Structure 1
């Protein structure tokens, strides 16, 4: 990438073909391996210690890039006892090295030099909710129920007034009864 503001650098996706050329990585890895071998075994000259070349290294690197690209590698995720990245690295090293031991770091409780935070485990709850039309239908049913109750009360009260009108009453009480009946028919609250 020629420009540091290249859009490929702005991606949060860890996609192997976009940000890394495996041929260049294989060439550089082969070069570092040759240099280390020459230094460790105190060899001089230009003979190749890894004659199989870059193709076998390229296949190996592609497998590792594919694996590491599919696993999260955040530092707090690597702290767990059974992390697949740490287990794969330990297994791979055990194939080539004699003694491999995974040591889990814990900070000193009294005077920690560093503090490692563990991952936060969250649970997502998803519910199937009723549609809005259900609320509309339920509101209409409740309104119809209240209207029916009010209608029953009005009919029962008017029948009660009619049956009370059949009994002989004094003229003063008869006037009050007629006023109450008229108020009920008009839907107005009768005065005492």
Structure 2
């Protein structure tokens, strides 16, 4: 919302209007629903915003809320290393130069992670766009997709969050402006009355979801044109997601056999297994005993047979 307000000031006059058009997408689903909102928006038939797109910039946890003692790093996550002189490569160089020039305590690093098509759950939102062959990347303070920063319900004090948000938003806004206007990254676009300060961030910290009130819709309509709201529901045949409610609970009761039957069955199985074990274990002795008895009987029979013949 702060970026929307900032860039809307550049479109107020014709002289400062860039040749690029900015489109903003705010999705309620996010990581919990595998970025279903972005998927729905991409698959729309009448989606003209993605035609001739330069690149798609996704924001995900751009402030650190747990590692207050760690250095402030902004990671640029991509699905494959960007080639030289491409839009993503040029923007990464601008972002890194601006961060090093304007903010000495902010570092920009690039991380490459391939999309695992075998995994049904995506790691970053830009992977939704990359799967449709759109140039996209994600800016985040989290280095790993499984970082607790993305799902934690704990946070630092508000002043610390605003301080880091101002730094991140300023660098993102300056880099986008330098990219759109093709100007020197060491010049400062947002200064004076257009400077990015805490008052640009503070009103949007307590903003609620679209289903709770119209704060987001009113903010979009205040600074943007052609604002649309889309609602999605799971497919009845092959749902990508499913919500479970307790409106119609069911209690299943099964009649089972008493516990004495299980004890008897356990005892019978144990006796059977012990019998098989002892039969296998003592079978050689039993076999040798039977063999010796049989041999003795045969020898006695052979010795007694000649005597019987002589008597006859």
TM-score normalised by length of structure 2: 0.27
Return the structure number with greater strand share.
Answer: 2
Which has the higher relative contact order, 1 or 2, with Cα contacts under 8 A spaced 6 or more apart? 2
TM-score normalised by length of structure 1: 0.41
Return the structure number with greater helix share.
Answer: 1
